[in-house]
Structure 1
Amino acid sequence: MSVQNVLDKIKENSIQFVDFRFVDLSGRAHHITLPSTEVDADTFVNGVAFDGSSIVGFRGIEESDMVMMPDTESVYVDPFTDHPTLNVMCNIHTPDGERYERDPRSIAQKAEEYLQKSGVGTAAFFAPESEFFIFDDVRYESSMNTSFFSVDSEEAAWNTGRKEEGGNLAFKVGVKGGYVPVAPVDSQQDIRSEMVRLMQESGLRVERHHHEVATAGQAEINFRFDSLTKTADNLLKYKYIVHNVARQYGKVATFMPKPLFGDNGSGMHVHQSIFNGDTPLFWEKGAYANLSEMALNYIGGILHHAPALIALTNPSTNSFKRLVPGYEAPVNLVFSKGNRSAAVRIPVAAVTPKGCRIEFRTPDSTANPYLAFAAMLLAGIDGIKRKIDPTALGYGPFDKNIYDLSDEEKKEIRSVPGTLNEALDALEADSAFLTEGGVFTEDFIANYVAVKRAEAKAVDIRIHPHEYSLYFDC
Structure 2
Amino acid sequence: MANKASDVLKMIKDKEIEWIDLRFTDPKGKWQHLTMVSGVVGDDELNDGFMFDGSSIEGWKAINESDMILKPDLDAVWIDPFSATPMLILVCDIVEPSTGELYARDPRSTAKRAEAFVKTLGIGDTVYVGPEAEFFMFDSVTFDNTYDSSYYKIDDIELPTNTGRDYEGGNLAHRPRAKGGYFPVAPVDSAVDIRAEMVSTMLEMGLPCDKHHHEVAAAQHELGLTFGTLVQTADRMQIYKYVVWQVAQAYGKTVTF
Same fold (TM over 0.5): yes
* Equivalent residue number for residue 188 of structure 2: 185
- Decide which of 191, 197, 200 is 1:197's aligned counterpart: 200
Q: How does 1:23-38 map to 2 (within 5 A)?
A: 23-38=25-40
Q: Does 1:241 align with 2:248?
A: no
Q: Does 1:167 align with 2:170?
A: yes
**CA distance in structure 2 between the aligned counterparts of 1:180 and 1:8, rounded to whole angstroms:** 46
- Decide which of 83, 89, 92 is 1:90's aligned counterpart: 92
The question of whether the paired residues in 1 share the 8 Å contact of 2:26 and 2:106 is answered with yes
User: Percent of aligned pairs with the same residue?
Assistant: 46
Aligned residues: 254
* Equivalent residue number for residue 15 of structure 1: 17
Q: How does 1:131-170 map to 2 (within 5 A)?
A: 131-170=134-173
- State the one-letter code of the partner of 2:250: Q
Which ranges of 4 or more aligned residues in structure 1 deviate by more than 3 Å?
Answer: none
- State the one-letter code of the partner of 1:207: D
* Equivalent residue number for residue 179 of structure 2: 176
**CA distance in structure 2 between the aligned counterparts of 1:29 and 1:228, rounded to whole angstroms:** 17
Q: Does 1:80 align with 2:85?
A: no
- Deviations along 1:260-309, one digit per CA (max 9) or x if unpaired, are xxxxxxxxxxxxxxxxxxxxxxxxxxxxxxxxxxxxxxxxxxxxxxxxxx
**CA distance in structure 1 between the aligned counterparts of 2:25 and 2:129, rounded to whole angstroms:** 19
How far off is 1:170 after superposition? 0.4
**CA distance in structure 2 between the aligned counterparts of 1:107 and 1:143, rounded to whole angstroms:** 38
**CA distance in structure 1 between the aligned counterparts of 2:15 and 2:76, rounded to whole angstroms:** 16
- Deviations along 1:1-54, one digit per CA (max 9) or x if unpaired, are 222111111111111100001100100011101111011111122211211110
**CA distance in structure 2 between the aligned counterparts of 1:49 and 1:145, rounded to whole angstroms:** 45
* Equivalent residue number for residue 113 of structure 1: 116
**CA distance in structure 2 between the aligned counterparts of 1:249 and 1:119, rounded to whole angstroms:** 49
- State the one-letter code of the partner of 1:30: Q
* Equivalent residue number for residue 316 of structure 1: none
Q: Structure 1: where are the runs of 5+ without partners?
A: 256-474
The question of whether the paired residues in 1 share the 8 Å contact of 2:5 and 2:47 is answered with no
Larger radius of gyration: 1
SS across alignment from 1:49: strand
- Decide which of 63, 66, 83 is 1:64's aligned counterpart: 66
How far off is 1:73 after superposition? 0.8
The question of whether the paired residues in 1 share the 8 Å contact of 2:199 and 2:209 is answered with yes
**CA distance in structure 1 between the aligned counterparts of 2:130 and 2:253, rounded to whole angstroms:** 27
Q: Structure 2: where are the runs of 5+ without partners?
A: none
SS across alignment from 2:144: strand
* Equivalent residue number for residue 378 of structure 1: none
- Decide which of 194, 213, 217 is 1:214's aligned counterpart: 217
- Deviations along 1:334-362, one digit per CA (max 9) or x if unpaired, are xxxxxxxxxxxxxxxxxxxxxxxxxxxxx
- State the one-letter code of the partner of 1:144: Y
**CA distance in structure 2 between the aligned counterparts of 1:187 and 1:76, rounded to whole angstroms:** 30
How far off is 1:139 after superposition? 0.4
Q: How does 1:325-340 map to 2 (within 5 A)?
A: none
CA shift in 2, pair 1:103/1:58, >3 Å: same
How far off is 1:146 after superposition? 1.7
The question of whether the paired residues in 1 share the 8 Å contact of 2:19 and 2:87 is answered with yes
The question of whether the paired residues in 1 share the 8 Å contact of 2:23 and 2:34 is answered with yes
* Equivalent residue number for residue 129 of structure 1: 132
- State the one-letter code of the partner of 1:60: A
How far off is 1:181 after superposition? 1.1
**CA distance in structure 2 between the aligned counterparts of 1:181 and 1:15, rounded to whole angstroms:** 43
Structure with bigger helix share is 1
Structure with bigger strand share is 2
Instruction: Report the aligned-residue RMSD.
Output: 0.9
**CA distance in structure 2 between the aligned counterparts of 1:65 and 1:57, rounded to whole angstroms:** 14
User: Scaled by the length of structure 2, what TM-score is found?
Assistant: 0.97
- State the one-letter code of the partner of 1:110: R
User: Scaled by the length of structure 1, what TM-score is found?
Assistant: 0.53
